[in-house]
Amino acid sequence: MTLLAAGSVALAAAGDRLVAEPPARYHPVAWLGRALGPLDRPWRHPRLAGVATALFVPLLAAGGVAAAVALGIRIDPLVGAAVAGLVLFVSTSRRMLVDEARAVVAASEADLASARERLRSLAGRDAATLSAGEVRSAAAESAAENLSDGLVAPLLGFAALAPLSLPAAAGAAAWIKAVNTLDSTFGYRSVPMGWAPARLDDAVMFLPARASAVLLAVAAGCPGALRRARSLARRPASPNAGWPMATLAVALDVRLTKPGAYDIPAGDALPTPADAMRGVAVVSRAGWLAFGVATAAGVVGPC
């Protein structure tokens, strides 16, 4: 079973490299996001509604995926591995994240208005008054944080359960992706039911955020960055997002900032275009390392 799991990870990595992501109209995560829309309503007991949503929506996603992989295995183990690989492919994102970050950085030098507009695909902040350096900072921060949310977390869940059960591993990746999607949809102070999805996402992302920091330090060839990043990681309000962002800032020797929210002064200046491009390259390499580690976990896991 472990070799099949390794094959599933390899299939997901190949899909990321060759396709990036399916079009939105065919993407199951986009379907989930649209399906959640009607839940954003004035509930009589919004916290209770949020708790119920946080409990049942990820379980439904995980159960459906696990059942599909189990059915595939009953047909043929290779079919089950292919289904699990497709699940992991749609649950993770590396190439699209890297491509978007590079596009924002390139535009920040040539067309600042375009860069501000394109930044919306990466970061949920008002970019209308951001300077070119602040736009590049946002792109680097978002690339580092989304490495954790969009790639390392689902891979970690998959790798943790793959030695035990391929359906359970695929279900874990889908569960984590659903939790993250709930947080992206409802996890805001302005959304009354968002408390439970946000707190669940904080708990789920604790290990992936720190694992992402390790991967970024290794990818940058700067393992000592983790030591300095430890104190800087507490600058953002999030208990997790600061770890990959601070590690990347230290590796690049730059200052990353979100005006009015936090400042990560690992260096004196905001990233130049060259700094930001180097940061995106580090995130890309860290993503490939994550795929490699997950594949190796499948190969060497217990039979």
Per-domain residue ranges of the chain:
2-300
Residue 162 has pLDDT above 80, yes or no: yes
The values of phi and psi at residue 163, to 5°, are -65, -20
Question: Does the pLDDT of residue 303 top 50, yes or no?
Answer: no
Residue 298 has a pLDDT of 63
DSSP string, the chain: -HHHHHHHHHHHHHHHHHHSS--GGG-HHHHHHHHHGGG-S--SSHHHHHHHHHHHHHHHHHHHHHHHHHHHHHH-HHHHHHHHHHHHHHH--SHHHHHHHHHHHHHHHH-HHHHHHHGGGT--S--TT--HHHHHHHHHHHHHHHHIIIIIHHHHHHHHHTTT-HHHHHHHHHHHHHHHHHHHHH-STTSGGGHHHHHHHHHHTHHHHHHHHHHHHHHTT-TTHHHHHHHHTTSSSSTTTHHHHHHHHHHHT-EEEETTTEEEESSSSPPPHHHHHHHHHHHHHHHHHHHHHHHHHHHHS--
With 90 as the cut, is the pLDDT of residue 213 above it? yes
Tell me, what's the pLDDT at 117?
Answer: 93
Residues 6+ positions from 78 with CB-CB distance below 8 Å? 4
pLDDT band at residue 1 under the 50/70/90 scheme = low
pLDDT for res 301: 56
- Mean pLDDT, residues 103-113 taken together: 94
| Averaged pLDDT of the chain | 93
Q: Is the pLDDT of residue 182 over 80?
A: yes
Q: Which of 96-100, 126-130, 209-213 has the lowest mean pLDDT?
A: 126-130
The pLDDT confidence band at residue 254, using thresholds 50, 70 and 90, is: very high
Res. 191: pLDDT tops 90:
no
Condensed to tens digits (0 to 9), the pLDDT of residues 2-25 reads 789 999 999 999 999 999 888 888
Q: What pLDDT score was predicted for residue 124? A: 76
Lowest-confidence pick of 16-25, 58-67, 100-109:
16-25
pLDDT of the residue at 300: 59
